Chain A
Amino acid sequence: MQTDMLPANGGAPAGFGMPADANQVEASPETCQFISFTLGKDEYAIDIMAVREIKGWTHTTPLPNQSPHVLGVLNLRGAIVPILDLRSRFGQGLTETTPMHVVIIVNVGERTFGILVDAVSDILTVEPKEIKPVPENDKTGSEAYLNGIINADHGMVVVLSLKELFN
């Protein structure tokens, strides 16, 4: 599993198996890049520009009286960074962490935090028109964190808005 630091500029890191067509699409300035990762069988993606680094799971210091998905804080080279369990945020219970789990450190607005996922899978380079809107099945707006769906070769990838997710 990939646990090395990943440059946020999206340079092709070893071991990710960049799809052949990705490089071709990259020529267009319109394209956007996403990092995709898995939670169980589901695949999700977040904007690559928000990703600061990717590291293996390490022990965190719990914060008292927080929502269950707040796993605690860790020391990221001197900065105190909270780590959030995405699985738990989706209401699927706490992740049983192993050193094989992956934390994606992201910058959202002024803040830096980490999200715990099962594994990082790919870098997706797509054109905006390839991101399909999420069908409006829920009027409550509780799924505002769903930004769209990408139809990748191997299946559907849901694009998440981190800002909405952990607001």
Chain B
Amino acid sequence: MSSDGSSGSEFDRFRVTFFEECNEILADLEVHLTQLQSEALDVEGLNAVFRAAHSIKAGAGAFGFTRLVTFTHSFEALLDKLRDGVLEQTPQISDILIRGGDNLAELVAAAQEERELPEDFAAATLADIQDILQEGEVATDASPEASVTDAAPDTATGSGSATWQVVVTPGQDLFKNATEPLLLIRELAGLGELSTECNAGNLPSLRRMDPELSYLSWTFTLVSDCTKADIEEVFEFVDDTCLIEITQSSQAANPDAQSPAPDTQPAATPEPATAEPVATPQTVAAAKPTGPGAATSQSKPPQASSIRVDLNRIDRLVNTVGELVITQAMLSEEMAELAEHTGRQHIAGQEQLAALTRELQECVMAIRMQPVKSVFARMPRLVRDLSGKLGKKINLRMAGEHTEVDKTIIEELADPLTHMIRNSIDHGMEMPADRVAAGKSEEGTIDLSAAHVGGNIVISVMDDGAGINRERVLGKAIEKGIVAPDAHLSEHEIDELIFAPGFSTADSVTDISGRGVGMDVVRRNIMGIGGRIQVTSTPGRGTRFNLLIPLTLAVLDGMIVAVGDQRYILPITSIVESFRPEREQLRFLDDRTQVVSIRGEFIRIVKLCDLFNINKAVRDPASGLVVLVEVAGGGKVGITVDELIGQQQIVIKSLNDNFDPVEGISGATILGNGKVALILDIEQLAAMRASNGGRHFAGELGVLPGGAIVAAE
């Protein structure tokens, strides 16, 4: 009804919000169901799961996703019985709940993508739930007394029909809250035999009527064997906007049926009906959280309040604050020049402004921060499912789930992490028998941890499996033509091969280890968010992947370098070291390729001044500086610059909004003086050189992804 007056786009918006909420709810659900795998849920946990299912059901009803409603309804019924202690949490039920959670996620996804699921989808789960519920019924009938618990006094209800009178007087804002009374009435009608009386007495004259306000109220007479809680539940989502009176009228079918009237007295009281005069029906639960509607009020534990904000708005805020920081820096610089002529107060004010600006920026950046928990929470399931499928025994340990990182980065982390864990289970971990044979415990362990290190977050995935089988990896790489057959690679370089594109695409290296299930994709994804991935492996002892990821995509720790009269930014995360080489360390291999030798490694030199045609730059690396940077594929190149200007946190601006991509440049930023400086794209710089000739160098390894050349020892 409420959407009648609104446009389709508004409806779409509600729909989008619904699915957004669903996904949050499902993530929450997942956490609790994961817990269920190891132990029974406490009342709070059950309530949380129940609430999750219930919220989805309510929304699904409003949008007409009938299958979702049907399923959640059953799911909820099962949870309700668990919550009330009618059913015990057996492993069988846990299993059904976990499966149900999966089904629920799938149903939501199907509804969101508007695809049809097969007719018998989740039928098995539903049948199981039905069976359990029926068993539960029998149990309840057998010992009605036992089911009277503090948490849910209502469950003691007998099965006889009663006549309920429900008076619902909505507040005027009913429709503005997107409530459709018809749906509520239909749900109520589902409980039993319903007759409805609409009270239009408050309806003003047509001229004075505001079509967006609600003027009607209803009196429902319901003959049903339901409990008061069932009726309350129908109105659960409107109980703060409507005045709801639920009374049991006098013509009850049998006196026993009146006992449920939710006084907390046990059903043992002989004639509770006579305790209340029949003429004045007992009024129960009028307004919100008071009264014995314990089941509903209890299900809303205090939570840290939060609001939902469009990401674009936050982006705008972040950008504006970025501008503020730059402007402030500009002012500071100019003030410094004027310092001699400026009063002390000005300078003090300036410093205060600088501090406030920094703090403001930190606050704003914090808005986008979220704990990595949302990604980590998916992993226990993955481990459980996959290890079960493969017949391996694996224990996943997680640490640092509360480490916070930018929302956009969290979204980009899910795929790579899933991939890496899958890889560890599939190829790193041995079968239990093999582990025992190798003198290890039968159960393997995967450690997943996150921690803040400097301005970055480090996520590591460590397994105690067999480690990378270097022989196989090298053999495969040679077979695939990724490495020359006569190449001599260090152990580390062989490990790095699992990230090489093309290494993974064809048939797997089979059993034990070393198949990179799209590890090149993992590396690309991680580099895409400005991060790096490293692998270390010890044969027989296990493999460790380390992800070094910036906290946010909006800012970057940059090193400002000078080349001629130009200033460029190098991302700090890629810089290994910088040094001024001695002349003996330098050597031309041909007229274009120059290498520098450092600690026995030969590093190709990339001359920025040549690539970018910058005049007035220092051409001889021995007179300037070489900045050693790491490129994808684990290789290194040395970039020549005139000097290092300093380190600064910079706000990343896109160049491509208004211009075509420029080779060697990943973006731009605005320096303290208001001028634009370009951010160097190291991968592209390395590739630019490669395309200008001199592709193979030092013979052995040749070109790795992105044209990076790894010096072979």
Contacts and interface: CB of A to CB of B under 8 A. Distances in A.
Interface size range of chain B in the complex: 20 to 34
Contacts of B566: 61-62
B662 A65 contact: yes
Interface stretch (B458-466, B520-528, B667-675): B667-675
Contact of A80 (B658, B663, B664, B674): B658
A50 interface: no
22 contacts: A60-B676, A61-B678, A63-B678, A64-B663, A64-B678, A65-B663, A65-B664, A66-B662, A73-B659, A73-B668, A74-B676, A75-B670, A75-B676, A77-B323, A78-B322, A78-B670, A79-B658, A80-B653, A80-B659, A81-B658, A112-B657, A113-B659
A111 B659 CA distance: 7
Nearest to B614: A64
B196 interface: no
B319 A80 contact: no
A97 to B, nearest CB: 16
A64 B662 contact: yes
Interface in A60-100: 60-66, 72-75, 77-82
A111 B658 contact: yes
Given A79-B653, A80-B655, A63 B665 contact: yes
Interface in A81-138: 81-82, 110-113
The dominant DSSP class at the A interface is strand
A78 B323 CA distance: 6
The 3 A-B pairs at the shortest CB distance, nearest first, are namely A64-B612, A61-B676, A82-B659
B671 to A, nearest CB: 9
A81 B676 CA distance: 10
A64 B659 contact: no
Given A64-B613, A111-B657, A73 B665 contact: no
Nearest to B674: A75
Interface of A: 59-66, 72-75, 77-82, 110-113
Interface in B315-351: 319-320, 322-323, 326
Contact of A82 (B320, B658, B664): B658
Interface in B609-654: 611-614, 653-654
A79 B612 contact: no
A80 to B, nearest CB: 5
B677 interface: yes
A41 B658 CA distance: 30
B662 A63 contact: yes
Given A65-B663, A66-B662, A78-B322, 11 more contacts: A61-B678, A63-B659, A64-B663, A65-B664, A75-B676, A78-B320, A78-B653, A78-B670, A81-B658, A111-B659, A113-B658
Interface in B654-713: 654-655, 657-659, 662-665, 668, 670, 674-678
A29 B91 CA distance: 77
A81 B675 CA distance: 12
A112 B323 contact: no
A73 B664 contact: no
Contacts of B655: 73, 80
Contact of A61 (B319, B654, B675): B675
A66 B320 CA distance: 30
A123 B528 CA distance: 47
Contacts of A80: 653-655, 657-659, 668, 676
Contacts of A77: 323
Contact of A65 (B613, B654, B657, B670): B613
